[in-house]
Structure 1
Amino acid sequence: MVLASTIPNAARAVDTIPFTDVKGGLIEVQGSVDGAPAVPMLVDLGAGVDVLSAPVGRRYVLVNGKYVTLRLSGERVDLPIGKVLTLTVGSVRLDAPHVGIWNGLSGMGVDGLISATAFRNITTTFDFRNHAIVIEDAQTFPERIRTAVRVPLILQDDLGIALGLFARFDFGDGKTGLCEIDTGSQGITIDKTFGASIGLNPSAAGKAAIASIALVGAPQTRIEQPSATFADLIYDCNVGNSFWAGRSFTLDLPNRYIYVTTSV
C-alpha cells in the first residue's frame, strides 16, 4: 500500500492519550519509565531531548555520556544522558533512544519532559480542542488531514540526540520569521533583535504589539493581534500553545510536514 510507505512504523491501531492543561496551557500526561507507576510529565516539543527529573532519572537512566545544549534564552545546559528500557505514555511505547537527567525539573511538579524525538517515527495529532494526543495509522491519517492545510517543517536534528521543530511564520506586510514550535511554552515570544528588524517595538513591560501571526502559506491560521512578549532568544521567535488553542495539528516528521486545522 503506497500510503503505508509514507508513514514509517505506522501504528497498527489508533492510540489516544488524554492530556490535561496545566500551568496556563501546558500539556501534561502520565508517563511510565521501565514499567514503573506513572508520573506526571509534560509533552514539550521544544525540549530537544527527553529528560527525567533527578530522582526518577537516577533510578532508571543508565548514563553513558553527556549532552550539552542551550535553552531558549541562551543558557547552557549540561545533561547526563543515557538509556532507559522503556518510556510509555498510556498504552503507547515511545521511541526514547537518549534520555537526559535534568535538575531543572525540581519544584515544577513534573518528573519528565517528552520531546519531539518521541514522535520522530510516528504520525501524531495534537488535538487541543479535545485535549488528546492521537497516534495515527495508515487508515486514520488521510481522513485526519483531509481538511487540514499542509505546511513544511524545518527540523533541527542534533546528532540524532535532540530534535527541534521549526516553521516559517508570517507577521504581516511580508515580514516572516523562523519560529520554534514549542508546546513547552504557553504563549508567543519574539526575539528582541528580530522584532526590531521587522519594525516591532517592545513596551516597557516587554509586551509585543503584533498585528497578526500565521503560518507562511496558510493564511487560514492567522490570529489577529495576539498576545506576545519580547525576550532575548537564540531563535527569531517561539510559538507556544496559545497559537493552537481550539485547533489541532498533525506531525508527519518523516516527511517534514505539519498539518493544521484551518479553523479555531
Structure 2
Amino acid sequence: MKKTMLLILLSVSLLVKAQDAPVTIPFTLAGSGHIIIKATMDGEEGNFVFDTGAGLNAVFGKYAKKLHAQPTHHFFVGHRSTGEEIAANLLVSKELSLGTLKFKDQYYCSFDLDLPGIDGLISLQAFRNIPVTIDYTNKTLTFGTLKPADKKRSIDIQLSDHAGKAVDIFTNVKLNDTLNAQVLLDAGSGKDVYYISSRLMKPLSIDTAGMQVISRKSEFDTLKTNRYYIGALKSITTENGVSKKESPRVVFVEGLIYEGLTSINWLGKKIAISIPEKKIYIIE
C-alpha cells in the first residue's frame, strides 16, 4: 500500500513538473526593435510580431486566406492610439501554437494588409494565466513559471481587459522626475518609442519653440490629421525607480488617447510580464 501511494505521489509530482516546465522559443529582433516570432494557427505557420499593445491577435492578407476561418457573429470595437475607431469581426482559431505550447479557441481578427515578412500580431490575450519572459540578449521568449530569483525587482502594471476579448497593460511613470503619468506598454511600437499626450506639455512646462512639428493624416481615416511635436525630456522613470531612461527623444501627440505610450525595451534586458500577478519583473 505504501509503495502504491509513493508511486501515485511520484506520478503526480512528475505531472505537475511537466505541466509547469517553461517553453522557450527564439525570436528575431528587427532593426526597428520589433520582436518577430514563429507561430502556428490551425496548422499554418507564420511570422508574427509579438505585440503587447495589440490587445487582440490579428492576421493579415494572404495568411488570413490560408486559415479558411468561418465568420462568427461576434465583433470587437477598439481604437488606435490616436482615437480612430476600428470595428473588427472576430474569428476563432481552434489552436494557436508557439513551440510546444498550445492554446485552444483563441479570438483573432483579420485585416487586408500586406506587410512583407509579417503575417500578423500575437497579443497578450493568450497569456492571461502564464508569465512571458522576454530576453533581449539571447533573443528568446519563455512561457512558464518564474524562479524566486527572477522576482527580486518589479514594477506594478494595470490591466485594460475588454470583456475577455482583448487585454493591454499599463504602468505608472514619472516624467522629468516630477509629473506622474500612466503609459501603455507597447512592444509593437518597436524600440525606444516614447509618445506623450500633448495635454501634458503644459504641466511639464514644455516650450514648443524650436520643436519639429509634423502633421500626419491617419491611414484609417483620411479626414483625420494629428500633429506631432518632436522634442526631449530629461527622463522617464518607473514609479518605483527600478528602470529609468535618461534624455529620451519624445513625441508629444495631439489626440493621443492615453497619457503616454512607450516601447518596453527600456525596462531591462530581460523582463517577465506576469498578468496574473499584475507585475513586470526586471530580471536583468
Same fold (TM > 0.5):
yes
**Alpha-carbon deviations, 1:36-67, whole Å to 9, x = none?**
2x211000010010111133334423321221
State the shift of 1:15 in Å: 1.1
What residue is the counterpart of 2:60 in the other structure? 53
Q: Secondary structure at the match of 1:25?
A: coil
Percent sequence identity over matched residues?
Answer: 24
2:230 corresponds to 1:230: no
State the shift of 1:156 in Å: 0.4
Alpha-carbon contact 1:179-1:239 (below 8 Å) kept: yes
**Alpha-carbon deviations, 1:10-40, whole Å to 9, x = none?**
952111111111151000001111122x211
Distance 1:96 1:188 in 2: 34
Distance 1:21 1:199, change over 3 A: same
Distance 2:95 2:162 in 1: 22
Distance 1:260 1:95, change over 3 A: farther
State the shift of 1:220 in Å: 3.2
Residue of structure 2 aligned with 1:155, choices 141, 152, 159? 159
TM-score (structure 1 length as normaliser): 0.85
State the shift of 1:191 in Å: 1.4
Counterparts of residues 104-253 of structure 1 (less than 5 Å): 105-137=113-145, 140-146=146-152, 149-186=153-190, 187-202=193-208, 203-205=211-213, 206-217=229-240, 219-232=241-254, 233-244=256-267, 247-253=269-275
Question: Which one is further off, 232-241 or 193-202?
Answer: 193-202
Distance 1:220 1:73 in 2: 29
Distance 1:174 1:59, change over 3 A: same
Alpha-carbon contact 1:95-1:117 (below 8 Å) kept: no
What residue is the counterpart of 1:6 in the other structure? none
What residue is the counterpart of 2:86 in the other structure? 77
What residue is the counterpart of 2:15 in the other structure? none
Alpha-carbon contact 1:11-1:136 (below 8 Å) kept: no
Alpha-carbon contact 1:26-1:241 (below 8 Å) kept: no
Return 5+ residue gaps in structure 1 as ranges: 1-9
State the shift of 1:121 in Å: 1.1
TM-score (structure 2 length as normaliser): 0.80
RMSD: 2.0
Distance 2:273 2:128 in 1: 9
Distance 1:95 1:249, change over 3 A: farther
Distance 1:143 1:136, change over 3 A: farther
How many pairs are equivalent? 245
Q: Secondary structure at the match of 1:193?
A: helix
Moved over 4 A (4+): none
Distance 2:234 2:105 in 1: 40
Alpha-carbon contact 2:197-2:258 (below 8 Å) kept: yes
Distance 1:11 1:119 in 2: 15
Q: Secondary structure at the match of 1:85?
A: strand
2:43 corresponds to 1:35: yes
